[in-house]
Amino acid sequence: MAATDENGEVGFNPFGRQKRRRSDYVMVATAFVAIAVLVAWAILPR
Give me the residue spans of the domains in the chain.
Answer: 21-46
Burial class (CB in 10 A: 0-12, 13-18, 19+), 7: exposed
**pLDDT over 90 for what percent of the chain?**
52
Residue 2 pLDDT more than 60? no
Residue 3 pLDDT more than 70? no
DSSP string, 7-39: S------TTSPPPP-HHHHHHHHHHHHHHHHHH
Q: What is the pLDDT of residues 20-39, one digit of tens each?
A: 899 999 999 999 999 999 99
Quote the longest CA-to-CA distance of the chain.
60
pTM, entire model: 0.60
Chain length of the chain: 46
